[in-house]
Structure formats: C-alpha cells, structure tokens
Amino acid sequence: MGVVVPISEAPRGNGITALTELCAPGMKRVNELILSKAGSDVEMIPEVARHLISSGGKRLRPMLTLAAAQMCGYEGDGDIKLATSVEFMHTATLLHDDVVDESDRRRSKPTARMIWGNQASVLVGDFLLGQAFKMMVEVGSMDALDVLSTAASIIAEGEVMQLAAAKNLATTEDEYLWVINAKTAALFSAASEVGPIIANGKHEERTALKSFGTNLGLAFQLVDDVLDYSGDAKDLGKNVGDDFREGKITLPVLLAYRRGTEEEREFWKDSLEGGNNDDAQLEKARALMAKYGALSDTITRARHFGAIAHDALGPFKQSPVKNALLDVVDFCVSRVN
Amino acid sequence: MGVVVPISEAPRGNGITALTELCAPGMKRVNELILSKAGSDVEMIPEVARHLISSGGKRLRPMLTLAAAQMCGYEGDGDIKLATSVEFMHTATLLHDDVVDESDRRRSKPTARMIWGNQASVLVGDFLLGQAFKMMVEVGSMDALDVLSTAASIIAEGEVMQLAAAKNLATTEDEYLWVINAKTAALFSAASEVGPIIANGKHEERTALKSFGTNLGLAFQLVDDVLDYSGDAKDLGKNVGDDFREGKITLPVLLAYRRGTEEEREFWKDSLEGGNNDDAQLEKARALMAKYGALSDTITRARHFGAIAHDALGPFKQSPVKNALLDVVDFCVSRVN
C-alpha cells in the first residue's frame, strides 16, 4: 500500500475524534431517539433493531447531519430527528443488503437474518424506513423530505442496478461509480444537505454540503473497497476477502481485471463470476492487485473525491465544526495504511 | 505548473500523431464529405461553414469515431458519415456558442458572427445539425441515432445550464463537472460509442468506449480551462485570459475562489461577476491561482479522468489503434507544460 498523503496541510488531523466530540450532546439525543423509535409492541422489532443498532458503527451519517446543521448556525432540535432518520435509513439498508447478499456476518457478529431469518430482516428494515419517514414529516421541512426521499429511491435503484450488474467484470469504472454513488454517496450527500436545509442556510451552503457529502461518500466507499483486500481491515469489523468471496465487483477488481492479461482475466472470471474463491484464489487476487497497483490506484481515485469534498467546504468560515468535517475527509481517505 | 507525469509507462508517447496517421485515409473522406454536405444553393451557407471548417481544428472528435470503429473491426463506410455528423454537431455548437458568448474571435480569426452576423451563425448551425441528422439516418443504425441525438440534447441542456449558472461563483465542482460533461464530454463520448455500435461490437466494447470518450472529454476540457490561464495557450489559438474576460467560471477559478480569503473572494466577484477584468486584474487572478495551486490541482483532477479513460480501454487487445487512442489521453492531459 502506498503512503497516504494528507489532503490538506492545515493543522488538523484528529481523525473522527473532533467530530465525535462536537456532536456528542446531539448524538446522545439521537441514540435515545433511536432506541425509542425502534420500540414496538411487536417484540421482534426492537430485538432485531437493537441487534444491529448496538453493533457499534461509527454513526458517521447522523453526525454529518448534526455537524452540517451546526455549521449553518442551526439552533433548533429538528436536526436530531433528521439525523435519526438518516441512521434508520442506513440501518434499513444494511438489513436488506444482508438478505440480498445472503451474508452470515457483519462486524464480526451474526447478521440479523441468521438469528431471526430473512423475512424478519426485510420487514424490520421496512419498519425502520417507515419510522424514518414519520420523523421527517414531524420535522415538517418539505425540502428535507424531498432530499431524503430522493436518496431513499436512489439507494433502492442502486441496489437493483448492483443486482443486475453483479458479477459482471465488464462493468466500467463509470458504471461502478454510479453504483457506489447510489449505494453510499447518496445517503452521505442527503445527510449533509439536510443540515443547511433545516438551518435555512443559503442556497450555496446547500450545494456545497451536498457536494461535500457526495464526494466524501465516494471516497469512503472506495477506501472500503480497498480495505476488503488489504491486511488492515480486521479491526474495522470487516473480514479481508468478504467482497471476493461474495463475488463483488469493486474498483480494485475492475482495475486489476482491465490491466491484466487474457489469462489473468480468465482467473478473475473463474473466481468472481464462477465462484472459485477459496483462500488460495484470494491470495492470487491480492497478488494480481499488487502487480497492477490496483489498490494504490483505487486510493488515488479516492483521494480525488476527497480533494473535491475538501474544496467544497471552502466558502465556509473557519470553525471547529468545519475543521472536524475536513478531518473526516482525511480520516476516510487515510484509514488504509 | 507542475511536471506532468505520463499516465502509463507503455512505450507510446506520440501525442496525437499516431491517431492522425491511422485515421488519415478515413479523414480524407470525412473532409470531402464535410465540404460536400456543407454545400447549398443558399450561398451564405457554404461560406459560413467553410469559414469555420477551414479554421484548422484538430478534428479530434471524428477521428475518435473512426478509430473506435476500427478498433472493433469495422470494415464498412458508415463510420465516415457518422464521423462527419459528429464534426457537424461540433461545428454547430461552436457557431451557436459564439453567438451566446458574443465572442469576437476564435482561433485567432474573427468569428462567423462578426462577418455574417448572429442570425446567419444561428441558422447555419441549425443547417449543419440538420445535415448531421440526415447523414445519421442514411447510415440507418437506430442505436447510433439514439446515442448521437441524446448527446445533442445533453449539449443543448448543458448550454442552458451554463447560461443559468454563468458568473455564479457559488457553483460547486460537481455542478461544474456536469456542465463540462454536457459541453464537451457528451460529444466525445457519443463520438467514441458510435464506433462499436456501427461495428456491431460487443456490449462491453460499447460501454468501454463510451466511458473512454466521457473521461477523455472531461480531462480535455479541464486542461483547456488551465490553458486559458497559463502562458502556453497562444499556439493553440486561444488567447490567455479569454475565459476571464468573458466571466467564465471554470475549475481553476472555482478552486482559487473556494480556497481564498474573504477579501480574495471579493476580488473574484468583482472581476468575474462584476466585469472588472482588465489585464491588471487578469495578472492578479493568475497570481491567486498560483498561490492556491489552482492550475496544478486542476491538472491533477484532469489526470484522474485521464486515468479512467486509460483503464477503460484495458479489455481491448493490443493494437496500433488502441495505442493511438491511449496516446491521445496522454496528449490531452499533457498539453500543458
């Protein structure tokens, strides 16, 4: 793996810590709301929801909403509900994804579908999505509803596209970027954009934060793709090789495939499209990625989007929350090392 | 300006020469068709058309069509008509652009509107567009018609968007990329994609060449933006500072604006939105771009798209035409130095 150069020379570099600290009071309320809104007399719902919610994600998305609102001077409490909606949308996607991908484990724990079954996972996901929309309606901003419901439909569209494009090594990089825009960046973008919306921010604050979220999301997902093949992913709860074993076509694969010889391309077809994906095959995949610089070039691509996210915040005045958001960009790009 | 690192280590590096040589027989026929199809009993039409057509562009777009068809094994002569259509679409856009931008000069010659007036420029543009569509229909490929007519509508949509976004420094980088996708990359993309279409190429050849064209176009336009502020643009027929004097918001401007201080942002508003754009202001603009690395970072962004274009051609077998297309990517990214 190449050395990761920080995107900016600014004296920041606190990773995600500064954002976590700045958002701590708000996130305490978000977490309370999560637990209360995941409650139901149907006993299985809170059980399933809590299983996933307690599994210890970074809660990056709701923090983006809180931070974006704060950066635009918001002082009400609608951001708490919107942030919770964003996290519910994310949780619903994970529940549904695990069913679609037939995943056994997530963050080193059994997936909900392994404990409660596929039907429960699908339906609890739907329930959380419903709760998310109810909270958005309570907040009463038609613009925020528009942005978040558009994101929800893009996410679903992306899942269908990924299903259709699955195991297709002929996927172009542009098509793949579209998929990860839908899968990841759309929600990062919406989470960031609803901040200025609820804060009644200027139009350019909205577009800037929307662009920030989109590009942060793209960078985040590309680095995630790299982590799945690099040795350092264990402490992030991902097992190295998960994407490979599931036959997922990600950018490191696409680059290695496109740069490879005819014979190497047969290897990729055999392993990813054909399902011949044991540990020896995984090692060969990693060797081919090293040969063609596929992981380091994926990081270079991620850095491009990180740089755009960084510049997107240019017009905002210096502030602790702005610095914390810039730190998150660096964190996302540099969590591989 | 930073040192431009070639995108690939492959022993190529002939700039646009290899492509020009490979396409020479086809381009001879394209040029004949251009002259014949720009003919009309309405005397003004061939006059205006020839003025622009003889002004000595590189004819990069029609060469993309010829090369893409050739790379997919095409042996008929429909590519000649499609390439001519592509060049006519481009010429029509230039005629209309000069009217919209009220430009006096293009490639160091007076624009058609300065000689024959705005109405003639608009109408001859429409005539060329009509001729382009007639030729596409003659070729008879519904898919090619679909791709090129979609491109035509995206180009028009982009012009309207640019009109609306003109002189707006709050434009985000994503929005700007959308504009240059419409303005430049859509036609590069369509020009490349109709090659495999007419050659009855495989689906993945179509998507690969579409992606190649799009990303080449984005890289090309970003470097064009840089040339307008760097000292080396004279021999390319552009005058340094044209974009500045026209108040065009391009990526180097957006980066310098977003990275600047409040005071510097006032300068950009005054000069680009306010029209205070004499030579002293241009020098200040260039100094601010240097201060914030806006030109070199625009080249870095261009290189990102160049790298994607490069990888897009990965699956094609080694051949002189493939190498020539890869050379064009390097040429586009490295014409600043």
Chain A residue numbers with beta carbons less than 8 Å from the beta carbon of B253 are none
Q: Does A210 touch chain B (CB under 8 A)?
A: yes
Q: What are the chain A neighbours of B215 within 8 Å (beta carbons)?
A: 174
Its sign, for the CA torsion B52, B58, B61, B63, is: positive
B174/A214 Cβ within 8 A = yes
Residue B89, CA atoms < 13 Å, CB-side half-sphere: 32
Q: What is the CATH number of the domain that holds B133?
A: 1.10.600.10
CA distance B96 to B104: 13
- Asked if residue B223 is part of any domain, the answer here is yes
Q: Does B110 touch chain A (CB under 8 A)?
A: no
Specify the amino acid at residue B209: L
Distance CA A304, CA A22 (A): 27
Residue range of the domain that includes B162: 17-334
* Low-confidence residues of chain B: pLDDT under 50: 1-11, 233-235
Residue A188 and residue A213 in contact, taking contact as beta carbons nearer than 8 Å = yes
List all residues of chain A from 55 to 74 with a beta carbon under 8 Å from chain B: none
Is the CB of B10 inside 8 Å of chain A's CB atoms? Answer: no
Flag if A307 and B300 touch (Cβ within 8 Å). Answer: yes
pLDDT computed for residue B12 by the predictor: 66
Other C-beta atoms closer than 10 Å to the C-beta of A90 total 23
- Residue B211 to residue A300, Cβ atoms within 8 A: no
Let me know if residue B230 belongs to a domain: yes
- Interchain contact, A304 vs B304, CB within 8 Å: yes
For B209, which residue in chain A has the nearest alpha carbon?
Answer: A172
Residues B183, B166: Cα–Cα separation, whole Å: 13
Domain count, chain B: 1
Identify whether B117 is part of a domain.
Answer: yes
According to the model, what pLDDT value does residue A286 have? 96
Q: Which residues of B18-52 are buried (b: 16+ CB within 10 A; e: fewer)?
A: bbbebbeebbebbeebbeebbeeeeeebbbbbebb
What per-residue confidence (pLDDT) applies to A337? 57
Q: How many angstroms away from the CA of B311 is the closest CA of chain A?
A: 6
Q: Is residue B248 part of a domain?
A: yes
Burial class (CB in 10 A: 0-12, 13-18, 19+), A290: middle
Q: Does B300 touch chain A (CB under 8 A)?
A: yes
Give the pair of three-digit tokens for residue A4.
């990761």
Whether residue B7 is contained in a domain is answered as no
B263 to chain A, any CB pair closer than 8 A? The answer is no
Residue B9 included in any domain: no
Q: Is B259 on the interface with A (CB under 8 A)?
A: yes
Which one-letter DSSP state was computed for residue B271?
Answer: I
Distance (Å) from the alpha carbon of B145 to chain A's nearest alpha carbon? 22
A314 chain-B contacts, CB cut-off 8 A = 257-260
Domain for residue B2, yes or no? no
Torsion over CA: A320, A322, A324, A326 (sign): negative
**Helix or strand (DSSP H, E) at B304:** helix B294-312
Give me the pLDDT at residue A132, please.
94
Residue B316 is assigned to a structural domain of this protein: yes
Which residues in chain B belong to E strands, given as ranges?
105-106, 109-110
* Of A172, A215, A311, Cβ closest to residue B258: A311
Which residues are within 8 A (CB) of B31 and not within 5 positions of it... i.e. 6 or more apart? none
What is the reported pLDDT for A240? Answer: 85
Would you give per-residue pLDDT tens digits along chain A (337 residues)?
A: 334 434 444 446 778 999 999 999 999 999 999 989 988 888 888 888 778 777 767 899 999 999 999 999 999 999 999 999 999 999 999 999 888 888 888 877 888 888 888 888 888 889 999 999 999 999 999 999 999 999 999 998 888 887 776 788 999 999 999 999 999 999 999 999 999 999 999 999 999 999 999 999 999 999 999 999 996 544 455 578 888 988 889 999 999 999 999 999 999 999 998 999 999 999 999 999 999 999 999 999 999 999 999 999 999 999 999 999 999 999 999 887 5
Provide the 10 A C-beta neighbour count for residue B247: 16
Residue A12 has what pLDDT? Answer: 66
Strand-strand pairing, B109-110 and B105-106: antiparallel
Any chain B CB within 8 A of the CB of A284?
no
Task: Identify whether the C-beta of residue A93 lies closer than 8 Å to the C-beta of residue A186.
Answer: no
Chain A residues in contact with B207 (beta carbon < 8 A): 170, 172, 175
Question: What residue in A sits closest to B205 (Cα-Cα)?
Answer: A170
At A238 the pLDDT is: 59
Sign of CA dihedral B91, B97, B103, B106: negative
Can you tell me the distance from the alpha carbon of A314 to that of B171, in angstroms, rounded to the nearest whole number?
A: 12
**Angstrom distance (rounded) from CA B236 to CA B256:** 24
Please list, in sequence order, all residues whose beta carbon lies within 8 angstroms of the beta carbon of residue A74, skipping any fewer than 6 positions away.
Answer: A195, A198, A199
Q: DSSP of A105-153, one letter per residue?
A: EETTEE-HHHHH-HHHHHHHHHHHHHHHHHHHHHHT-HHHHHHHHHHHH
Enter the pTM of the model: 0.85
Q: Which H/E stretch holds residue A218? A: helix A203-227
